[in-house]
Chain A
């Protein structure tokens, strides 16, 4: 059972207090978008063995959505950050890259 730090209220929250929301940093495609773009937006999700960026909501806490960068194999959590962003913080990406030079980057 994972523990993630909520970047809003600072609580180290148990997974039972959280609600997982799948892959982070999706771009929404609405009316006017191509079928391919819309399909990708709606259905295609990364499922990496390794570094992953996910959405979580501190549902039994402050109620805020945040993002977590973690490793799906080692369960290491590199960091959490507010969801109001289009990309992960640069220093977080640098930290992961330093630890895993072979990692291909966040997108």
Chain B
């Protein structure tokens, strides 16, 4: 069993106990514990179940690389799944539960998958797609959905706040181990501005665990002294609990600071995302120990040798009384010696190398530990906990020579530098044959805007595997980065350690090397995603040669740990199966973040009302006070309708339509885009922008215009008014103003830069009200001022003047088919003008109306709406708008495109009206079917609905749609099958899209 030792634990404070619960069970740890250490201290080795086979799993590692030990952390509004116990600091009152099992951690029904493993090999998921479609729907999906998934989804809104922090500096050092600190010394001494970040809450990394001396003092003492020197430097910022998450173009770094994960609810932001610009980056990210692939290497109690050592030294936790060490390098002996010193039993060290003669092996022998070179683990015994191992020859096929009882196995397969930060922005790797790992190639560093390297590695992250080499490399890296960032030359010598000799490691990818398929099916590479040696070999047999394909086929390295333990072992197995060198296989791509970061941190302060600022018209508050039901239109909120007490939204919309048609309606049209185009060449420019001729529009007149993309597709529409000789005012769709403004600017700046034209977006300078209905003129005349008679201000003209004392520009334009004035007043007068219209209109039956009423009235008139009748593939000719396309103009944007054969194809679907035979409302987006089937066996389609409404005016459903040969098929009935499951067909007759007042008698009065 795992337990807390009577003494030891350099990071914990035994005078400060902390209480927590795991699956409801009360447990105790100490300040300074990780959740992993505290759980192990309470003999909680079983921490979760694997993703696919639901095998029992315990912790393997002691840091960010941990694949197994993920828990649901916290409760309610602070609940978060998939939290690594190895990187979770213990605090009083912490609650956590294990995940990925049912009904309980101890007894999980899903483990039947384990016995069916033979039927769930690599690519199982993809193979299900090859089965009959019905099997996927009825068999695979329900089963996979039930058994897969990590943790639970939080159900409550996050109680915490998060923030972004912007930081500019000269040098960023990622990693606060001895390498990072040595680099910081060099960079700090240069006078450069330095930021050092360490992901854990303590400095020094794992060097104090490994032992040795720096500058004649213990590693711990050197760390303290170095921190004191660094803290005294004003140019150096030190941050713990901050992970380097990613390195991006031109010296951009994301730092993920876990400010208050260990003090939840104390009022501080939980996470802070540092958005950093730096000249140089030093990655002192250390290395990660690799597991060894032997049968049963996932049974709880099998751990990385370095982790076993960490738990003993840092937290005073013993994994087991009897630990078998299995290694292919000298470092594993450190664990054996550490355990022996702590008074624990190490029955044997199995060294896969044929000789074990290095100083560490000799030290182990001197300590009375049995050392067996050339030996391997044939099999680990046990279910939820290791009970023993069978020993075999590494060179053989796995015949057991001996069985040894033990309750823990410490494995060391060598070390891989953490190259993520180096690789994120293009740093390349080289294969180090001696260490059997990929390490950064200093000659192919990531480059910045000046073409020079901006990332340098330090210490073990460079592949320097001894303390002495690490310090030397790291100090030089700090110096180099500081110099490149403009710091002074540093003459002071760096920290030194005595060189120790180690026997070379020997790569071991499968243990024993001739293991049978039965054994290989029990050798885990990726613990979290349940990928085994046999799966990678199967992928190779099935033709997956690219490492990126194999990764996706087997899901190797695709779990939340992103293969930090499995990557190199998997590559090696694949290379062997493909009979090629490891560097030929190469690595998969390293992408940020280094470990998962919270969505809260990414969002920062952008939540709730400041997620996206809302644009408000001058009358916005009135709408809200009136209880309007608002809908988003671009960044605006517009009233959809103004329901009265007891009225549904639908009833309100119908009332608004009828009232506007019969009496008087007011629409807040301020969101309409308004662009001023001005200058000596403005007419020429307008002719290019619009399909219509705009240069010949008379001053004082209005014209409806269309804008197309250069690809010919309809992009925007609106009424243009000629203001004076060299000025046009363009109305754009609501929410389209910024886009169209940018569109005009782009052409003016990049194509016709010699044209003398200026464009200004005046949308928010003006409030605009549509005064609509038979009583529209009466209310304006009552308010008094300018002449708004038919004679003075006819349809499609505009005039400046005053109305009721307000400075007004009045356009006689109509989007409803009624007598209509759109009146623009300065934004500052908008609300007062609105109020004045409502007051004066009372006797004429005035009612405000919303966007849905606007939509229905325009559909009754057959007016198109950008975004309904158009979807980016529709040209004006499809909509019967040929009258708005100039034939005289030589050129306009989209003209050439509309001459292409596909655009002039008579088989393009064309706009028509649709009326159902039974008067019902056609389903929105419904497709009409024709004769026969297409190549996929689906019914051929001959049209679709683009707008469909119940018309309160006509008391029936009306619709518009695009139909094959539509305009030539007036009166024909076509069929629209429904997709609501009722298996019915709605029949509709093709008709004129103008349902109401075709001759315009109502608007032209």
Contacts and interface: CB of A to CB of B under 8 A. Distances in A.
B163 interface: no
Contact of A76 (B449, B751, B890): B449
A29 B896 contact: yes
A2 B249 contact: yes
Nearest to B712: A42
A53 interface: no
Given A2-B250, A30-B891, A65 B449 contact: no
A15 B249 CA distance: 10
A84 B753 contact: yes
Contacts of A31: 890-891, 895-896, 899
A71 B746 CA distance: 24
B934 interface: no
Contacts of B426: 73-75
A83 B249 CA distance: 24
Contacts of B447: 74-76
A90 interface: no
B899 A57 contact: no
A76 B746 contact: no
B449 A63 contact: no
A105 B249 CA distance: 25
Interface string A87-105: 0000000000001000000
Contact of B451 (A1, A15, A64, A74): A74
Interface residues of B, number: 29
Interface in B95-150: none
B685 to A, nearest CB: 15
Contacts of A30: 891, 895-896
Contacts of B450: 76-77
Contacts of A76: 447-451
Contacts of B745: 63, 65
Contacts, number: 69
B449 A75 contact: yes
B776 to A, nearest CB: 39
Interface in B723-771: 742, 745-746, 749-751, 753
A9 interface: no
B900 interface: yes
B440 to A, nearest CB: 17
B749 A84 contact: yes
Contacts of A74: 426, 447, 451
B240 interface: no
Q: Chain A contact residues (Cβ within 8 angstroms of B): what range?
A: 20 to 34
A57 B743 CA distance: 12
Given A1-B249, A71-B451, A64 B749 contact: yes
A1, A32, A38, A99: which has the most chain B beta carbons within 10 Å? Answer: A1
A1 B253 CA distance: 9
B897 interface: yes
A61 interface: no
A76 B453 CA distance: 10
Contacts of A3: 250, 277, 449
A75 B895 contact: no
Nearest to B899: A31
A83 B750 contact: yes
A90 to B, nearest CB: 20
Contacts of B751: 28
Contacts of A75: 249-250, 425-426, 446-449
A38 B746 contact: no
Contacts of B710: 42
A73 B446 CA distance: 10
Nearest to A99: B451
A52 interface: no
Nearest to A5: B449
Contacts of B451: 71, 74, 76, 99
A50 interface: no
Contact of B749 (A33, A38, A83): A83
Interface in A60-85: 63-65, 71, 73-77, 83-84
Contacts of A36: none
B872 to A, nearest CB: 15
B711 interface: yes
Contacts of B749: 64-65, 83-84
Contacts of A65: 745-746, 749-750
B448 A33 contact: no
B749 to A, nearest CB: 4
B249 A33 contact: no
12 contacts: A2-B249, A3-B277, A30-B895, A38-B900, A42-B897, A65-B745, A65-B746, A65-B750, A75-B426, A76-B447, A83-B749, A84-B750
Given A74-B451, A84-B749, 7 more contacts: A1-B250, A21-B750, A30-B891, A76-B449, A83-B749, A84-B753, A99-B451
The 5 closest A-B pairs by CB, nearest first: A76-B451, A84-B753, A1-B252, A74-B447, A65-B749
